[in-house]
Amino acid sequence: MSFIDKIHACNAWNPGDFVPLLLDGARVGWLRRSACDHLRRWPEQFAVESERVTWVGAPAEFAARTAVLDTIFDRLAEEGVVSHLHGERYPLTAGAREQACCLIDRACAPFLGARAFGQHLNGYVRTARGIEMWIGRRAADRRHYPLHLDNLVAGGLPHELSLVDNLRKECTEEAGIPRALADRAVVVGAITYCRDSAGGLKPDVMYCYDLELPEDFVPVCTDGEVESFRRLPLAEVAALVRDTDAFKLNCNLTIIDFLVRHGFITPEEPDYLEILAGLRAPLP
């Protein structure tokens, strides 16, 4: 295994397996071909052709569009076509989250191949021994990647919350980080990737943050999503990312980015330039 293997795993998809979902001439998603068959049941809404699906019946109003998709996905969730409904609202957008044409349930984003946004925070401590990083282990009841390792704080970005407010919320819930400390987090960029998943296509954006923590800080999960925390030397974290599948898949990218920026992965690393480019893969 290698660092670049983890990046490739997050960017594994075949464009030929998907067709664009169009609204008002803009591509707002990528549908698996089997998903197109489900949408044929609503011909008043979707014109399904061999190489595209057009949302021809979309109302003009934002709220009305949201209501139409809610009705459709309520049915698809009842039938098990979509595994569940999450309850958080994500934007359906051709670009930035501020350009949303309507809202969808978070769990439905992969079915539509809709762009999804999240925030990941690396919490670390500078010690006499070098940098050490706090790592969480996901709870056993998590729907995705139970008991896998995770970033100290990571979560989806609901449409109704700003980046600042959502990061504060996730810091409190997932690691017991008080607001004053969470506000010291440094924005370090964004990671993009596109992956074929069981639920559909995931063209995702992760806004990334570094938070240097006091040496006496100990995280405490308050929402039940994390089973435990460990503080590990950076070399040990790097080895877990490079040599194992211990981490939730996309968390590998957040840590690889940290390793590059903090000089642990250097230009002498095989595939160095490919690693840099792969962390910002073009989104379809």
Q: pTM here?
A: 0.95
Query: How many domains would you assign to the chain?
Result: 2
Q: Which two tokens stand for residue 154?
A: 């990571």
CA distance 85 to 110: 12
pLDDT of residue 224: 85
**Domain extent at residue 100:** 15-109
> Could you identify the residue written with the tokens 């990312």?
241
Share of the chain above pLDDT 70, in %: 100
Domain boundary among 109, 142, 170: 109
> pLDDT tens for residues 215-267?
999 999 888 889 999 999 999 999 999 999 999 999 999 999 999 999 999 99
Q: Is the pLDDT of residue 27 over 90?
A: yes
155 and 79 belong to one structural domain: no
Please enumerate in sequence order all residues whose Cβ is within 8 A of that of 253, keeping only pairs 6 or more positions apart, or say none.
Answer: 6, 7, 10, 191, 193, 206, 279
The domain that holds 201 is classified in CATH as 3.90.79.10
More confident residue, 143 or 194: 194
Residue 249 domain-assigned (yes or no): yes
> pLDDT tens for residues 38-72?
999 999 999 999 999 999 999 999 999 999 999 99
pLDDT of residue 144: 86
